[in-house]
Amino acid sequence: MKAIIEYNSRKIEINVSEPIDISIPIDMSKGKINAWGIDDPKIEVESFDGYEVSVANGAVVNFNSIQFNPHSHITHTECVGHITEKVYSVNKCLKHYLFLAEVVTVAPEQIGDDFVISEKQLKTALRNKKRDAIVIRTLPNLSDKKAMRYFNTNPAYLSEDAAFYLVEKGIKHLLVDLPSVDKEKDDGSLLVHNAFWQTSGKMRMDATITEFIYVPNNVEDGEYLLNLMIAPFENDATPSKPILYKIVS
């Protein structure tokens, strides 16, 4: 089923029956993604008076409680409140949910022991395109990304110059298939987070960073409509479900 959406005075046609989900869920039946060395998430049946509330146990409903950290266990979207002393909620900062996005594939450049996404690579990928969001798929793009254990592994990250470039390009929403846009151990500098949100100047309150996505290999680079859906938590970060739609015309 096709739909036509008017976006910034442009009519965009998409096939709404072909959504591309680039989120990684918490799935207790499979290997679970994890970062920063904390315990795995838990989804457990609640008990009342020693009685487990599940249909399998004779109850009329299933009644599970969930314990997790959005930064460590699931695709999540965060706002500037992630790194500021003052508390800001992504649920209040993100007020619109449909964006024109560019999917790009990047093989991070090796610099010493690090693998870095550079300004030059993003310039080559975006050129003169006007986009609100960028979705970065890194190579190699194996499905085991969906169950990686990121702790003392020094995964790839963006350079500070790359972040400044994205700000100059007017990119408001940065989505990556990494645990962080910053280097795992950088003595707390968080250069990319600070550069992207412009914390030393007029902070970009409506800009977001989404980490732990996974873009399947059969998704081509190019222009998409992004629906950035978030769970309504009043917190610096919240689980999210970014969906791409290929633009037909």
What tens digit of pLDDT does each residue of 49-61 get? 889 999 999 999 9
Instruction: Tell me the mean pLDDT in the region 108-131.
Output: 97
Task: For residue 141, name the pLDDT band (cuts at 50, 70, 90).
Answer: very high
Q: What six digits make up the tokens of 99? A: 């964006």
Residue 249 has pLDDT above 90, yes or no: no
Mean pLDDT over the full length of the chain: 96
* Position 239, amino acid: P
pLDDT at 91: 98
Length of the chain: 249
pLDDT at 95: 97
Whether the model clears a pTM of 0.95, i.e. scores above it, the answer is yes
Q: How far apart are CA 140 and CA 53, in angstroms?
A: 43
pLDDT at 177: 98
List of domains in the chain: 2-26+71-246 (3.50.30.50)
Instruction: Tell me the mean pLDDT in the region 139-148.
Output: 95
Task: For residue 130, name the pLDDT band (cuts at 50, 70, 90).
Answer: very high
The tens digit of pLDDT for each residue in 180-233 reads 999 999 999 999 999 999 999 999 999 999 999 999 999 999 999 999 999 999
Residue 46 has pLDDT above 90, yes or no: yes
Q: In 3D, which of 126, 216, 225 has the Cα closest to residue 171?
A: 126
Task: For residue 44, name the pLDDT band (cuts at 50, 70, 90).
Answer: very high
Task: For residue 169, name the pLDDT band (cuts at 50, 70, 90).
Answer: very high
Instruction: Tell me the mean pLDDT in the region 99-114.
Output: 98
pLDDT at 50: 87
Burial profile 147-183: b = 16 or more Cβ within 10 angstroms, e = fewer: ebebeeeebbbbbbbbbbbbbebebbbbbbbbbbbbb
Whether omega for the bond prior to residue 140 falls within 30 degrees of 0, making it cis, is yes
Dump strand ranges (E) for 145-204.
149-150, 157-158, 173-176
The tens digit of pLDDT for each residue in 24-41 reads 999 998 889 999 999 999
The tens digit of pLDDT for each residue in 73-91 reads 999 999 999 999 999 999 9
